[in-house]
Amino acid sequence: MAFNPGSRHGQRMADINMTPLIDVMLVLLIIFMVAAPMLTTGVDVNLPESRTGRNLESEAMVVTLMRDGRMEFEKTFVREEQLKAQLRQRAGQGRKRPILVRADHAIPYGRVITVVDAIREAGFTQVGFVTQGIPAERER
């Protein structure tokens, strides 16, 4: 508490010191600004490179195949049977969004085709493959 110099002698003023509160809030803001991008990146997959193509990840559903054999659909790890069931459920809901397959560069081709077959069996016709762009300095 602080004393008000303009008032009667010894009367206390009921003010809150805002400096520590602002310090704590700024530290929390910085922590969240640094941590937020780490929470949205997803799993790390070594994608093949492509010179053409556009980014459809914002409007499409994504199936990710990782090098260790795990599979992720819409940010949830699933087994192949679960993927088929979830795809059938989404296809039955009406509007069929495109589906993108993110497969690690080292995944066997047959495994990728198995997932694409499951997607098409569920009734989805728009299937794309996610690649990473080639940096401009490597294109030359």
Are 17 and 10 within 8 A, CB to CB? no
SS3 89: helix
Q: In this predicted structure, what is the pLDDT of residue 30?
A: 92
Q: Which two tokens stand for residue 131?
A: 């690649």
138/140 Cα distance (integer angstroms):
6
Q: Report phi then psi at 119, rounded to 5.
A: -65, -45
Q: Is the domain of 25 the same as that of 84?
A: no
Residue 112 corresponds to which amino acid?
A: V
Beta strand 76-78 pairing with 71-73: antiparallel
- Per-residue pLDDT, 25: 94
Instruction: Tell me, yes or no, whether 70 and 125 share the same domain.
Output: yes
Domain that holds residue 124: 49-139
Q: What is the pLDDT along the chain (140 residues), one digit of tens a residue?
A: 455 565 556 667 777 888 999 999 999 999 888 887 766 555 666 666 666 655 555 578 889 998 888 999 988 899 989 999 998 888 888 767 888 898 888 888 899 999 999 999 988 888 888 877 665 555 55
Query: What pLDDT is attached to residue 3?
Result: 54
Which tokens belong to 9? Answer: 């002698």
Domain shared by 59 and 127, yes or no: yes
**Quick one: tokens of 95?**
């509007």
Indicate if 71 and 98 belong to the same structural domain. yes
Q: Which pLDDT value is given to residue 56?
A: 54
- pLDDT of res. 58: 59
Predicted confidence at residue 8, as pLDDT, reads: 59
User: Environment class of residue 89 by beta-carbon count within 10 Å: exposed (0-12), middle (13-18) or buried (19+)?
Assistant: exposed
Same domain, 79 and 33: no
Strand-by-strand arrangement of the 71-73 sheet: 76-78, 71-73, 61-65, 99-103, 127-129
Total number of domains in the chain: 2
